[in-house]
Structure 1
Amino acid sequence: MEAPRRGPRWTESQLFLAALIAPILVYDIVLQSSRLLLRFADMVDPPHAGWFSGVALSVFWLLGDIAFALFSAVLLLVRDQHGKLWMTVAIALQAAAFLLGMINTASYVYFMQTVDALDWPLLRHMLEQPSDLGLVMAGEVTAGQWLLLGLVFVLAMAGPWLVRALAIRARRPPLYLGRERRSRRKPAAAVLLAVPAFTLALLPPPIAARDVALVRSPLAYIAQTWASAESGVDPAVDQVVAETRFFEPGRLTIERVSTEPLRNLVVIVLESTRARAVTPYEPSLQTTPFLASLAAQSLQVDKAYAVIPSTAKSLTAIFCSLYPATSLAPRALTAGLLGRCLPRLLGEQGYQTVYLQTANARFENRLQAVPNMGFATFIKPDDMPTAGFQEANFLGFEDDQMLGPSEAWLLAHRDKPFFSAYLTVDAHHDYNRLTRHGVYHFAPADDMLDRYLNNVRATDVFLEQLFAQYKRAGVYEKTLFVIVGDHGEAFGEHGRRAHNTVPYEEGLRVPLLIHDPTGKLVAPSHLPGPISQLDIMPTVLGLLGFRVTSGALHGISMFDSPRDRVLITSCLGSCATRVTATEAFIHHFGRREDELYDLRTDPLEREDLARSYPQLVQKRSAEVLVFQRRIASFYYLHTLHAMQPQHAGRSP
């Protein structure tokens, strides 16, 4: 007679769930432990940075997983463990577990690279732009992170079925139906408890956190940002604050008012180049000796700011003088332009127009955005040779790749007025160290910053060669040059890295030079600022001898900018900055406490004064929110305008 088996008897459903949930929970605990060990100081206020805080944050961070584990007990409510319903529920739970693991992994990878939280707008953008997602994953996801993704897939998809098959093969009998019926109360209770568990994940964290989003369950934070509709700005409610000046799509026209010969125009947009990274703004840092010599012969704006630290958004501001939508998608350039941009307007005045970049043209849908702005010619990486050039990053090859095609176009079109635009790429993440022009070590204690500055140096060499090209072609003195950064780059100065959600000087303040070789249009000098990227288009139009005859721009000529001017920037709905010549106020939409800095005595924004001036903070916050709603209303009203029958399908 066979001896009775000892230990608890498990049903196939219980074994399946154990094999599904336990590895995912362990996996996510490992991820959270890694976050705490490597970035604890970025997540918790120093007075609360003890071991208890770490435990509390771990439990709070795992509430989304716990809610899923409780809800998974729904499988135990299905009687027939071999029927279609059981199989359907089991597969659905597997898919949910895989999705949960993917969200937690993506959140972890994004956090480790940027020290920021993955939210719904970013996730939605990644899903809607698979080409962008593919480029980022191919270039920035490390081999170890690919292994993590593979592990999630194996744990969620193969593990439970393997355990179930082994159990069946071992012929461990299931519980009897009578006991199974009696045990259905506990699974039902577990399913019901999933709701309060997930609700807890949406509540404020148990301890004081630097940033609520960093300690919240990734699943809960994505759900919260999905429900909040971009930080609570409801354009339908706030139509009343949309000013007429912000709603004039497609009406912009210009006319020539000068009798002087037409000058050529060159605009060079420096990718990921913060003001502090170049010599004219940081003389002790010899990264850009050519740019420094050029600045001495140019108008240098001392304080110039990006409107949003994103390339697509900055291009909208620079070339269209249009405040971009604060959502992540580059809608202003790809979903039908709200206004008429500089290349289109100059093209109508007889200018030949060309745009060049070495970054992948499919990234951020640049293939559509460039012609939408009005450039007649787009010289893409596919049109450029690659032999002898280094890859700068996952987006493309080094800037020097543009030199040959640029010179060929220039020689073919130099007899008529032209407008050429260049977007560099050398300084973009992930900063592959470029060595063709030498290896430089500007920050040996920080390898990532050192590689970045090394590549800024490579861009300076490109600029020197490009200007030499215009001199050889005999058009240098007939050309007005504008050099501007699209946005800055952060290296942990305020805990964050990269640029998309960096509302500080390192993310927003950019170099801006206007160079006239003759000195007739603009003489070498300094303009204190603050100046916005929105001001470049109206300034250039004035210098070239044009005036706006209808419509309106969101920027003003920088020569008309008052010293007490207020600029408001945004970082894709999660933060916004109100900046003047003397003050920076940063609003975080409830994610963390607002910040206030005196830029006169604290240009690096190290001493937060917000708690000392609560009434001023409240006033500044209200200003920022009104401005954000105004921009949201502007885009909302334009959408309504475009949907009207007489405008449907028409692009301004």
Structure 2
Amino acid sequence: MSANSEAAKPPKTTVAARLRQIGRLLPTAHWTYLLSLLLPLFALDLVFKVIRIRAQSSAPGPLGFVDEIRSDVFFNAALLVLWVGAFALARRVWLRALLLLVLHVSVILLLLLTAAGHFYYMKTGSLLETDTVVEFFTTFNQIRGAIAVEMGPIHWALLFGTIGYGLFGPALITRIVQGQWLPVLPKGRRRRPLTHFASVALVTGSAMALVLLSALPSFNGASAFSRNSVVNMAVNSVQAAWQRPPGGYVPPTRADIPDQTRLVKTAQTKKRNVVMIFMESERFKSTSLSDPSLATTPYLSELAKNSLVAQNAYAVLPHTSKSITAGNCGVEPPFDSENTEAEPNGLAAKCLPTLLKEQGYKSVFFQSATEKFERRRMLVHNFGYDEFYPLEDLSKAGYNHANYFGYEDDIMLKPSRDWALKHKNRPFLMTYLTVTSHHNYRVPADFPAQHLSDDPVLNNYLNTVRYQDRFVKQVINQYKKMGLYDNTIFVVMADHGEGFGEHGRKQHDDTIYNEGIKIPLLIHDPTRFKGGKTIETPVQNLAILPTVADLLGYDISGGHYRTTSMLDKPTNRPLMVSCFHEDRCLAYIKGSKKFIYHFGNRPDEFFDLAADPNETHNIIGEQNKAEINQIRTELLRWQAKVKATYALQRGSK
């Protein structure tokens, strides 16, 4: 080869040369400004992610650790190269000013979302999703009490520090290091060579590639946890928008909606009073019904000796408004976090208060919590209750705050007694919803607490369960004193359970494990169940409506509810459970077998509840994959059908 041909060859571009070329895209002061704003975001994101990884019940190995921080590294690298490209292209003063504004606003929002997502996960064990963020802003006035309880000095310091640094930090650092406040354009405009625009294109393309890499699934089956929190919200929102019903899905028809039902009298019909008590956040495992050595619910244990007891009862969804919808209406509630059950035409069933009203019953709903949360007055109206008495309508004199939602439950005793005496000459339905066991588990000041756990938070919770047990006793004794006891059927149940980190989940909304969904449920009828009767077959609170109708001696015509009476012969049908937030988790329970589908938030799980009641040994690897796929498909069909049922109901009237 000739010397001339060798000379004609273009010089090789080394990596170092390419880096120097990219470095020349921006003046040094501009690099300083960008890095001083974006690197703290990356550092905060990475530190929080490492803390969350370490908080997992089983820490990953080196490769697993890399897999779980991969998305955060790629996403933050994408932000850096994207802004480098944007600043390099912005050659006009007005465009540069606009970019600076967008940069600061977006980084502050990302910092706040990153911190909020971290603390939300550490507090609840659930990942922050778009619907949760929307819920925060749309219900802020309702939940600000809960926020105030959770916000400690470190949270306030981080909040104001983040905003303050995001506004002024980069300018201050750039001033100290480079002697100028802002990344201003050099005087005069220069034409850039073609290589400049090629580098910008390379940077922009690299940013897009890095974003795509940050959105890839993980290798451990927990893609949502492994992804950067902001990326995960975006990915899940896109997936939800494109979600389609699974194969074999059959859409619901009007015949599937029991809104034309009615009670039919039989020879066994007796118009007796019905009292339903929903105990807030009371999980089965923390009652004496589950563990006789626990001194939490001695009265429930005594009552159970002459009651119908569901030993394996589950909430269909672990959230109060959803659970009381299932209990009152016999159908699944809407699977959303917008509280659509409280909207006009928001229920896909005729509920128990309405059915009984048609038979001449009066009805009333009492709660010791505020009516302002989740439009409770409208929801109670939709159920069909004649009257509603929330905290705002009750005398607070002599009673203690229970938490940020309400007062101790004894506040309902006198007004409910007065109402019962006023209406004692006709049959009635009276429902109580307690609040004392709700987070933040404040034991009423005049209630003597006991030492039940070395964990102070759990100890307070267990004592609020004791308090609610005393409340149930007082309600029933009140009926004895009024002479109404023998003519009244008492339905006592929890709305849902509560998690304390047993599976990394706290509180209840997305606690799909038994501490969150398995509830105490018993029916006390003074004329039946002498010596007690126990149902071992799993049941759900959906069974309350048909069971009450059965106990009163009514048949149901004009439609079918989701399940049959608990007095009927037990069936081995599977139970389906959903988390509160959409596409977060679903559970399938049949006999002692339980499958949990996490939508990629965590690896799927399978438990044998007979051998492993605390759900500590995931045996998904031992199951037939085809059978697991079939169960998962069945769950998704159920979810799709419930959603479609409410869409059909809203569109039909």
TM-score, with length taken from structure 1: 0.88
Match among 281, 300, 318 for residue 272 of structure 1: 281
CA shift at 1:598, angstroms? 2.0
Q: Which amino acid aligns with 2:68?
A: L
CA shift at 1:343, angstroms? 1.1
Could you say which residue in structure 2 is the equivalent of 1:526? Answer: 534
Between 1:244-253 and 1:507-516, the stretch displaced more is 244-253
C-alpha distance in 2 between matches for 1:580 and 1:18: 55
C-alpha distance in 2 between matches for 1:500 and 1:561: 32
C-alpha distance in 2 between matches for 1:509 and 1:96: 42
1:497 aligns with 2:506: yes
C-alpha distance in 1 between matches for 2:115 and 2:538: 40
Contact 1:64–1:219 under 8 Å retained in 2: no
Query: Relative to structure 1, is the Cα distance of residues 145 and 63 closer, same or farther in structure 2, using a 3 angstrom cutoff?
Result: farther
Between 1:158-167 and 1:505-514, the stretch displaced more is 158-167
C-alpha distance in 1 between matches for 2:133 and 2:280: 23
User: What secondary structure does 1:228 align onto?
Assistant: helix
Match among 48, 56, 67 for residue 31 of structure 1: 48
Match among 204, 214, 218 for residue 201 of structure 1: 214
User: What secondary structure does 1:569 align onto?
Assistant: strand
Could you say which residue in structure 1 is the equivalent of 2:101? Answer: 91
Query: Relative to structure 1, is the Cα distance of residues 169 and 106 closer, same or farther in structure 2, using a 3 angstrom cutoff?
Result: closer
1:635 aligns with 2:643: no
Query: Relative to structure 1, is the Cα distance of residues 142 and 361 closer, same or farther in structure 2, using a 3 angstrom cutoff?
Result: farther
Consecutive unaligned residues in structure 2, runs of 5 or more:
1-23
In terms of Rg, which structure is larger?
2
Matches within 5 A, 1:535-554: 535-554=543-562
1:487 aligns with 2:485: no
Query: Relative to structure 1, is the Cα distance of residues 171 and 343 closer, same or farther in structure 2, using a 3 angstrom cutoff?
Result: closer
Task: Summarize deviations over 1:306-347 as a string: whole Å, max 9, x none.
Answer: 111111211111000111232323223435222211112212
Could you say which residue in structure 2 is the equivalent of 1:626? Answer: 637
CA shift at 1:266, angstroms? 0.6
Task: Summarize deviations over 1:166-190 as a string: whole Å, max 9, x none.
Answer: 7776799964656794666655543
C-alpha distance in 2 between matches for 1:200 and 1:181: 31
1:101 aligns with 2:114: no
Could you say which residue in structure 2 is the equivalent of 1:296? Answer: 305
Could you say which residue in structure 2 is the equivalent of 1:284? Answer: 293
C-alpha distance in 1 between matches for 2:409 and 2:197: 65
Could you say which residue in structure 1 is the equivalent of 2:11? Answer: none
Aligned residue pairs total 622
Query: Relative to structure 1, is the Cα distance of residues 570 and 229 closer, same or farther in structure 2, using a 3 angstrom cutoff?
Result: same
TM-score, with length taken from structure 2: 0.87
Query: Relative to structure 1, is the Cα distance of residues 15 and 367 closer, same or farther in structure 2, using a 3 angstrom cutoff?
Result: farther
Contact 2:316–2:517 under 8 Å retained in 1: yes
Task: Summarize deviations over 1:77-128 as a string: whole Å, max 9, x none.
Answer: 22234x3x33222212222112212221221111001122112232333333
CA shift at 1:360, angstroms? 2.5
Identity over aligned residues, as a percent? 32
CA shift at 1:226, angstroms? 0.6
Query: Relative to structure 1, is the Cα distance of residues 598 and 222 closer, same or farther in structure 2, using a 3 angstrom cutoff?
Result: same
Q: Which amino acid aligns with 2:641?
A: R
User: What secondary structure does 2:567 align onto?
Assistant: helix
1:216 aligns with 2:227: yes
Query: Relative to structure 1, is the Cα distance of residues 607 and 322 closer, same or farther in structure 2, using a 3 angstrom cutoff?
Result: same
C-alpha distance in 1 between matches for 2:634 and 2:181: 69
C-alpha distance in 2 between matches for 1:108 and 1:381: 34
Q: Which amino acid aligns with 1:461?
A: R
Contact 2:330–2:542 under 8 Å retained in 1: yes
1:78 aligns with 2:90: yes
C-alpha distance in 1 between matches for 2:97 and 2:267: 77
Could you say which residue in structure 1 is the equivalent of 2:21? Answer: none
Task: Summarize deviations over 1:571-617 as a string: whole Å, max 9, x none.
Answer: 14322111122211222233333222222222222222221122432
Could you say which residue in structure 1 is the equivalent of 2:203? Answer: 190
Contact 2:310–2:536 under 8 Å retained in 1: yes
Task: Summarize deviations over 1:233-265 as a string: whole Å, max 9, x none.
Answer: 535x87951354863253122233346552111
C-alpha distance in 2 between matches for 1:388 and 1:11: 68
Contact 2:46–2:72 under 8 Å retained in 1: no
C-alpha distance in 2 between matches for 1:170 and 1:534: 64
Contact 1:234–1:632 under 8 Å retained in 2: no
Contact 1:29–1:58 under 8 Å retained in 2: yes
Query: Relative to structure 1, is the Cα distance of residues 249 and 63 closer, same or farther in structure 2, using a 3 angstrom cutoff?
Result: farther
Contact 2:318–2:510 under 8 Å retained in 1: yes
Matches within 5 A, 1:375-390: 375-390=385-400
Matches within 5 A, 1:277-356: 277-336=286-345, 337-356=347-366
Task: Summarize deviations over 1:22-60 as a string: whole Å, max 9, x none.
Answer: 3323332332343344x1x34xx55x334x644553343
Between 1:189-198 and 1:484-493, the stretch displaced more is 189-198
Could you say which residue in structure 2 is the equivalent of 1:612? Answer: 622
Query: Relative to structure 1, is the Cα distance of residues 245 and 536 closer, same or farther in structure 2, using a 3 angstrom cutoff?
Result: farther
C-alpha distance in 2 between matches for 1:323 and 1:15: 56
Q: Which amino acid aligns with 2:538?
A: P
Between 1:193-202 and 1:146-155, the stretch displaced more is 146-155
Query: Relative to structure 1, is the Cα distance of residues 172 and 265 closer, same or farther in structure 2, using a 3 angstrom cutoff?
Result: closer
Match among 558, 564, 572 for residue 566 of structure 2: 558
Contact 1:305–1:531 under 8 Å retained in 2: yes
Contact 1:516–1:523 under 8 Å retained in 2: no
1:131 aligns with 2:137: no
Could you say which residue in structure 1 is the equivalent of 2:613? Answer: 603
Query: Relative to structure 1, is the Cα distance of residues 587 and 23 closer, same or farther in structure 2, using a 3 angstrom cutoff?
Result: closer
C-alpha distance in 2 between matches for 1:172 and 1:49: 43
Contact 2:270–2:553 under 8 Å retained in 1: no
Contact 1:257–1:546 under 8 Å retained in 2: yes
Contact 1:24–1:152 under 8 Å retained in 2: no
C-alpha distance in 2 between matches for 1:23 and 1:240: 48
User: What secondary structure does 2:385 align onto?
Assistant: coil
Contact 1:370–1:378 under 8 Å retained in 2: yes
Query: Relative to structure 1, is the Cα distance of residues 586 and 443 closer, same or farther in structure 2, using a 3 angstrom cutoff?
Result: same
Considering only aligned residues, what root-mean-square deviation do their CA atoms show, in Å?
2.9
Could you say which residue in structure 1 is the equivalent of 2:156? Answer: 146
1:419 aligns with 2:429: yes
Could you say which residue in structure 1 is the equivalent of 2:477? Answer: 468
Could you say which residue in structure 2 is the equivalent of 1:5? Answer: none
Contact 1:352–1:376 under 8 Å retained in 2: yes
C-alpha distance in 1 between matches for 2:112 and 2:211: 18
C-alpha distance in 2 between matches for 1:462 and 1:180: 80
Match among 328, 352, 368 for residue 358 of structure 1: 368
Q: Which amino acid aligns with 2:44?
A: Y
Contact 2:220–2:603 under 8 Å retained in 1: no
C-alpha distance in 1 between matches for 2:544 and 2:471: 22
